Structure 1
Amino acid sequence: MSDPKKSKDAEDILSEFHDIHTSPEPEPQLPSPEPEPQLPSPEPEPQLPSLTSEPSPETRHNPEERDVIFVGTKPIMTYVSATLTQLSTRHTVTIKARGKRITQAVDVSQMIVKRMNTVGYVISDVRILSDSLTSQDGKTRNVSTIEIDITKN
């Protein structure tokens, strides 16, 4: 199979590839556009500090003890392995999904609880929510959300 013609063809292809990628071609020079005059930006108005302090909406009760796995379009086993990885270091992990992906979130939780029953994972809490979202066409739509907490016993 070591035909001298085939090795010659391979050498030709490699040399052409090498020539194409090593010899830079001059890039065409575009005329630079004239800069537009800059208008002075108005100074921001000073804001008074608010008297009422509102709690941050992103505050969670125990951020060290809970992680969230968002279920999307990847294969189910991706979320199962991500959840098991988090459960190896955390006490509680939340699996969260919206809309069509709710069934996948339930499947992920059931795979962990049913198939890993010797380890002692249990579903500690299930929350079902509905969020109002504005779609791209401007309409307000309600989207269902599920949050499943899995805890290690």
Structure 2
Amino acid sequence: MSEQGNGTGKTEDNTVFIGRKDTMDYVTAVVTQFKAGSDEVIIRARGKAISRAVDVAEIVRHRFIREAVVKDVRIGTEAMVSDQGESTNVSSIEIVLAR
């Protein structure tokens, strides 16, 4: 999963990658995507950021865009290679919000 973007956790399409920033930064990115006309926004996270992704989705749904629904949730495992060359598995999640 390539995490290229503009530094805000948002890419040029309708995907928001969750990282270490404050939860509300990602909520703002998702709401901005919806306000720009997207019918769906995908929230992606790996590892420890998974719980933050769930928080973002719930805050968007309950506080900002009440008509948004969780259309799909996909979970998986990604093989990653560490700096030392060791392979490790990292859990991942994709939450698709739609309105």
Residue 137 of structure 1: CA displacement?
Answer: 1.1
1:85 aligned partner, one-letter code: T
Identical pairs, percent: 40
Q: Aligned-residue CA RMSD in angstroms?
A: 1.6
1:73 aligned partner, one-letter code: R
- 1:146 aligns with 93
In 1, the alpha carbon distance for the partners of 2:34 and 2:70 equals 12
Deviating beyond 4 angstroms after TM superposition, the runs of 4 or more aligned structure 1 residues are: none
1:140 aligned partner, one-letter code: S
* Higher share of residues assigned strand: 2
What TM-score do the two structures reach when normalised by structure 2? 0.82
In the alignment of these two chains, the number of paired residues is: 87
User: Which secondary structure state, in structure 2, belongs to the residue aligned with residue 90 of structure 1?
Assistant: coil
Structure showing greater radius of gyration is 1
In 2, the alpha carbon distance for the partners of 1:67 and 1:129 equals 20
2:60 aligned partner, one-letter code: I
- Larger relative contact order (CA 8 Å, sep ≥ 6): 2
- 1:99 aligns with 47
In 2, the alpha carbon distance for the partners of 1:72 and 1:116 equals 21
**Which of 63, 73, 76 is equivalent to 1:126?**
73
In 2, the alpha carbon distance for the partners of 1:115 and 1:90 equals 18
- 1:50 aligns with none
Gaps of 5+ in 2: 1-12
- 2:17 aligns with 70
1:74 aligned partner, one-letter code: K
Residue 116 of structure 1: CA displacement?
Answer: 3.3
In 2, the alpha carbon distance for the partners of 1:115 and 1:125 equals 20
